[in-house]
Amino acid sequence: MAIDFTLTPEQTAIQRTAREFAQEVLKPIVARADAEPDPQTAFAMTKPAYVEAYKLGFAMGFLPESYGGAGIKHVDLMLAGEEICAVDPAFGGTLLVNGLALNPLLWWGSEEQKDKWLNEASSDPTGQYLTSYTLSEPGGTANFDHPGPAPAGLVLFAEYDRGKGEYVLNGAKYWPTNSGGWDLKGADLNVVAVRTNRHKGGGEGLSYILIPRGTPGITYKRPIDKLGHRLDQNNWIEYENCRVPEENAFAVGDGDLVIAKAFTWSGPGVGIAAVGVARAAYEWTLEWARTYKGAGSIPIIEHQAVGYALADVAMKIEAARYLCWKTAHYLDMHGCEGQAFGAMAKVFPSELLKDAVYQCMQIVGVNSLDKQYPMEKFMREALVFPIYDGGNMGMQRRKIWGVIADPDFDPRAFAQCRPVPYKKSMTSYGVLPSRAQ
């Protein structure tokens, strides 16, 4: 049989190392940092854990060996991601964003760009190197691929100064992770989506620019204070006549394809983060149910309603985990091309497991609201998954729709691991509802 879910010895080692790191290094930091009221301080408190994760290969190990990485497969990232996110998914998001930022450079960058920036990212002796995928904007980003000119779509403008061979950036970003860096003076590298042609729509007018730390003309404001995922940093950034050399631009005119593929790569990563949180909630609730009697004479697990609810949660976790594994395997096979399936692996687990965590809260009862127990944090984290990383309503479902609406789409392709080419015509699908047209 070609289908085998048994982990190899190497995969078991990755899983074990990630679990030991999460329990021994990350977990002692999380409760104190999550309670810290200042979002930048909370983020900075995770820096020692990040340095250790970097040294273990969890920060940059996805890069090919030719650029200093470990060439870790996407499937293997699922194993590490579940263990880390079972302790704190926000920290997992800090790590994930390195991939969101650097994979587009790997896919679309020139050899000179890749040689410079990817090797720099993977060879920091201090282990502090941090990158950001800088996409989201104050006015919203869901319709990034709108076919109309500005102000529809992205409006961080990068005007080309032909005389100086530079792009001049003006505008703002809102919500990108890691952008401000450990000291709020900038990540080591920001990979920024920009509008290089305000007169063209998202299918032609978007590009990417590499902005290193220390570039003038950028202001990083106080990070956003959030309900959940408190330990990663989400930024409000303003650009005023920020000049970047033209050799730092890539995917000029194809920024829409970069966005679609980047969120394809991250889809199962977010899905497995939801698995990790739901698994932690389920395991804690199972132990609670085995001992808590609720003023009765027997542990509540002996009641059918509780047993059935726990069974439902267990099934949801298993179904979501294997969708993430299958999607990661598919993306490994097809060079991360599988835009509809990456979106499925984000949408389905994130929504299914949000409900699973709430089922656990119902089993625990009112005690789940008590901050001395972990249930309220599990719920805060679970609420985040459906609405970030290309929100399920804003981007991800629309991406699936655009692929399956194509007349050449093969509905059996995913089941049989056959490639599904992604076309420009699949972007901007549904951006203009029929009434607007």
State which fold the 9-129 domain adopts.
Butyryl-Coa Dehydrogenase, subunit A; domain 1 (1.10.540)
**Residue 147 φ then ψ, to 5°:** -75, -10
Residue 100: partners with Cβ closer than 8 Å, 6 or more residues away: 133, 262, 263, 265, 266
Task: Please report the pLDDT score of residue 2 as a whole number.
Answer: 73
Task: Please report the pLDDT score of residue 435 as a whole number.
Answer: 57
Instruction: Name the amino acid, one letter, at 8.
Output: T
Give pTM, 2 decimals.
Answer: 0.96
Dist CA 436 CA 347 (whole Å)? 27
132 pairs with which residues across the strands?
Answer: 190
Dist CA 381 CA 216 (whole Å)? 35
Closest CA to 131 of 117, 115, 141, 113: 117
Task: Please report the pLDDT score of residue 69 as a whole number.
Answer: 96
- Provide the pairing of β-strand 166-177 with 234-245: antiparallel
Dist CA 222 CA 229 (whole Å)? 16
177 pairs with which residues across the strands?
Answer: 234
Mean pLDDT by 10 residues, the chain (437 residues): 87 98 98 97 98 98 96 96 98 98 98 98 98 97 94 97 98 98 98 97 97 98 97 98 98 97 97 98 98 97 98 98 98 97 98 96 97 96 96 94 96 96 92 70
Take residue 361 and report the two structure tokens written for it.
Answer: 């809260």
Q: Which CATH number fits domain 256-426: 3.40.50.1820, 1.20.140.10, 1.10.10.10, 2.60.40.10?
A: 1.20.140.10
Indicate the DSSP class of residue 159. E
Take residue 221 and report the two structure tokens written for it.
Answer: 């404001």
b (16+ CB within 10 A) / e for 405-417: ebeeeeeebbeee
134 pairs with which residues across the strands?
Answer: 192
The structural domains of the chain, with segments of one domain joined by +, span 9-129, 132-254, 256-426
Cα dihedral 63, 64, 68, 74, rounded to 10, equals 40
Q: Which CATH number fits domain 132-254: 3.40.50.620, 2.40.110.10, 3.40.50.720, 3.20.20.210?
A: 2.40.110.10
Instruction: Name the amino acid, one letter, at 198.
Output: R
